Amino acid sequence: FFQRLSRPFRDHKLVILCTTVSGGGLLAYCEASEAAVVPVTEKKVVVLGTGWAGTSFLRNLDNPRYEVHVVSPRNYFAFTPLLPSVTCGTVEARSVVEPVRNIFRKKKVNIQFSEAECLKIDAANRKVFCRSNISNNLNEKEEFVVDYDYLIIAVGANVNTFNTPGVMENCHFLKEVEDAQKIRRTVIDCFERASLPSVSEEEKKRILHFAIVGGGPTGVEFAASLHDFVTEDLVKLYPGIKDLVKITLLEAGDHILGMFDKRITAFAEDKFRRDGIDVKTGSMVVKVSEKEISTKEMKNGGEIKTIPYGMAVWSTGIGTRPFIKDFMSQIGQINRRAIATDEWLRVEATSNVYALGDCATINQRKVMEDIAVIFKKADKDNSGTLTVKEFQEVLDDICERYPQVELYLKSKQLHDIADLMKESKGDVKKESIELNIEELKTALSKVDSQMKFLPATAQVASQQGTYLAKCFNRMEECEKNPEGPLRFRGEGRHRFKPFRYKHLGQFAPLGGEQTAAQLPGDWVSIGHSSQWLWYSVYASKQVSWRTRALVVSDWTRRFIFGRDSSQI
């Protein structure tokens, strides 16, 4: 009873009048001494990061029994899908950020925020070592240590340069709001420099050559935004040099937007060629110097080419933050790209540490071991083969145990393999065909390694944050009743249902008011109607009405007045 009382009551002596109706109306009087009141210890939760995962966790945490300390080097949440729009002034930087204190203000939970970066995690002693982001008068940065009962690591990822020489020094990245602002200023700088009378024609061409490395969604969207900016706004302001502008998209693989449906890839490549964006596939960047990019042309037997450029943007995937690498080596997770967790987002080999978002991944080795056991069980006669029906059952079993991989395991790839194997056995009845288990396992592991189980997207990070907050909201209740509601328990299982990712689709804006949308069920839509869907989804996904209003007004301003080309 006392535990349920809200805090102000718990802290005082209380006189309780108890009446029992049964037994003839006995009146009991009892005074509860302070000693009798069981003090409720608040669990300290430390959250590292205020990105998609961290913010989504904090927005959904409702249980006031936690004392939360948030540590992040930025005191705002950034809506990353709109960063490419910031690079060209379609949307202002301020419109895509929301101060985290604004988000916390509305919460019942006691949340403290420190603008600092985490330098080290000491998992053995449950401590986090941090350094403030702000320098004092002596130009020193304060350092402090925070204890935790639960640690939530949601620090995202670094850029990944694959150790390519010269990338760090000469390329722009598009990860943070500051990066987008810097790119915008550099684009305008290039146009202003190329307009100077002393610059030669050759040099003008170089300065106005914009190279984008990486044909993933971010690189493609940036190329499309830059093309729109140049053709719709800058050509009117710089008529003398407009014909010298060139945009090149360099991709090491065979196609851009490799993770999208083939129809989208083909449409994007075709549209870019029509727009005059030079898409160079099979071109791997091996070195970047101040004025030139060297590429290895895979299609021409590895020939090395050099391309002069004015501005280069590097967008080739994500890497691990140094302090996360250090933490991973402390807990024996060496040579991994991201922190391995179980299906409940708990970091393996630790207690009370959770990792989510881009810095985490679900342990694939363990999943593969489990999959091997499932295959073994299904192969009742130990023949090393399964019928198609048995294989379907295996797939269903895997998907039930690992709901988060369902999307990929049930993907066309696996079924294509099964089809191929069927064909190779000739024209036999479907059910009687036998599939080789070893080949199937290899196929599964390929799907696994290619897809990394969960993509590094805002969608995944945000769903993980919401899931974990719901677990934390119910944690205390579950600890009190360790058996828990039956439906949440299974043999050897955690008391909560495992995290289940729900894929809601993905967009690839291609410029010229056209977007490609790949929605659940492999439903593909490309064109102007999808662009309107993109506007509606991104407006609705804003974290506050303030940013929603700002973003919509920026889009309207752009429609009426065009983009602003000043360097501010």
Question: Of residues 45, 88, 118, 338, which one binds ligand FAD by CB under 6 A?
Answer: 118
Binding mask of the shown chain, residues 65 to 94, with x at each position contacting ligand FAD by CB under 6 A? ------xxxx-----xx-xx----------
Distances (CA, A) of 493 to 54, 92, 140, 497, 498: 25, 47, 48, 9, 9
**Among 109, 208, 307, 456, interactor with ligand FAD by CB under 6 A:** 456
Contacting ligand FAD (CB under 6 A), which of 45, 51, 260, 395?
51
Nearer to ligand FAD, 113 or 391 (CB): 113
Phi, psi angles (nearest 5°) of residue 146: -120, 135
Return the closest-CA partner of residue 127 out of 111, 143, 104. Answer: 143
Q: Is 154 in the site for ligand FAD (CB under 6 A)?
A: yes
Residue 88 has what DSSP assignment? T
User: Nearest approach, Cβ of 533 to ligand FAD (angstroms)?
Assistant: 13
Q: What are phi and psi of 36, to 5 degrees?
A: -75, -20
Q: Which is nearer to ligand FAD, 286 or 552 (CB)?
A: 552
Among 85, 90, 295, 459, binds ligand FAD (CB under 6 A): 459
Span from 33-41, 302-310, 407-415, 458-466 in contact with ligand FAD (CB under 6 A): 458-466
Q: Which is nearer to ligand FAD, 154 or 339 (CB)?
A: 154
CA dist., res. 281 & res. 266, Å (int)? 13
Nearest to 281 by CA among 308, 324, 251: 251
Q: How far is the C-alpha of 225 from the C-alpha of 228, rounded, in Å?
A: 5
Applying CB under 6 A, which of residues 68, 146, 174, 279 lies at the interface with ligand FAD? 174
Angle formed by the axes of helices 437-451 and 412-424, to 10°? 150
Please answer whether residues 469 and 315 qualify as being in contact, where contact means their C-beta atoms are separated by less than 8 angstroms: no
CB of 317 to ligand FAD, least distance (A): 11
CB atoms within 10 A of CB 29: 8
| Nearest of 450, 167, 158, 157 to residue 285 by alpha carbon | 167
Dig out the tokens for 309 from the structure: 């450029």
- Residue 311 · residue 215 · CB < 8 Å: no
Residues whose CB is less than 8 angstroms from the CB of residue 40 and which lie 6 or more positions away in sequence, other chains included: 3, 10, 65
Quick one: 156 or 214, whose CB is closer to ligand FAD? 156
Residue 362 sits at the vertex; the CA angle it makes with 152 and 505, to the nearest 5 degrees, is 95
How many residues belong to the site for ligand FAD (CB under 6 A)? 33
Q: How far is the CB of 473 from ligand FAD (least distance, A)?
A: 20
Using the minimum distance from each CB to ligand FAD, give the nearer residue, 54 or 166. 54
Which of 109, 188, 245, 461 touches ligand FAD (CB under 6 A)?
461
Among 59, 69, 172, 175, binds ligand FAD (CB under 6 A): 175
Q: Which residues within the stretch 313-332 sit at the binding site for ligand FAD (CB under 6 A)?
A: 321, 323
Q: Between residue 239 and residue 268, which ones bind ligand FAD under the rule CB under 6 A?
A: none
Q: Are 517 and 505 in contact (CB under 8 A)?
A: yes
Which of 329, 392 has the CB closer to ligand FAD?
329
> Which 336-395 residues touch ligand FAD, going by CB under 6 A?
357-359
| CB-side neighbour CA atoms (13 Å) of 9 | 10
- What is the C-alpha to C-alpha distance for residues 227 and 158, in angstroms, rounded to an integer? 27
Closer Cβ to ligand FAD, 69 or 271, answer by number: 69
Rounded to whole angstroms, the Cα distance separating 315 from 250 reads 10
The reply on whether position 99 binds ligand FAD by CB under 6 A is: no
Query: Given the complex with ligand FAD, which of 418 and 509 has the nearer CB atom?
Result: 509
Q: 32: helix, coil or strand?
A: strand
Which of residues 46, 53, 307, 433 is near ligand FAD by CB under 6 A? 53
Six-digit token string for 196: 């100077």
Least Cβ distance, residue 128 to ligand FAD (angstroms): 9
Give the β-pairing of 158-159 and 318-319.
Answer: antiparallel
Residue whose CB is less far from ligand FAD, 104 or 323: 323
Q: Which of 45, 46, 48, 245 binds ligand FAD (CB under 6 A)?
A: 48
Q: Which stretch binds ligand FAD (CB under 6 A): 26-34, 47-55, 252-260, 300-308?
A: 47-55
Q: How many other C-beta atoms can be found within 10 angstroms of the C-beta atom of residue 90? A: 23
Q: Are 48 and 153 in contact (CB under 8 A)?
A: yes
Q: What is the smallest separation between the CB atom of 480 and ligand FAD, expressed in angstroms?
A: 31
- The nearest distance, CB 488 to ligand FAD, in angstroms, is 26
- Residue 435 β-bridge partners: 386
User: Are the CB atoms for 528 and 517 separated by under 8 Å?
Assistant: no
Q: What is the residue whose two structure tokens read 């990394």?
A: 452
Nearer to ligand FAD, 57 or 391 (CB): 57
219 lies in the site for ligand FAD, by CB under 6 A = no
Closest residue by beta carbon to ligand FAD: 51
Q: Report, in Å, the least distance between residue 502 CB and ligand FAD.
A: 13
Strand 246-251 to strand 278-281: parallel, antiparallel, or no bridges (unpaired)? parallel
Query: Which residues of this protein are in contact with ligand FAD, per CB under 6 A?
Result: 48-54, 71-74, 80-81, 83-84, 117-118, 154-156, 174-175, 218, 321, 323, 357-359, 456-459, 461
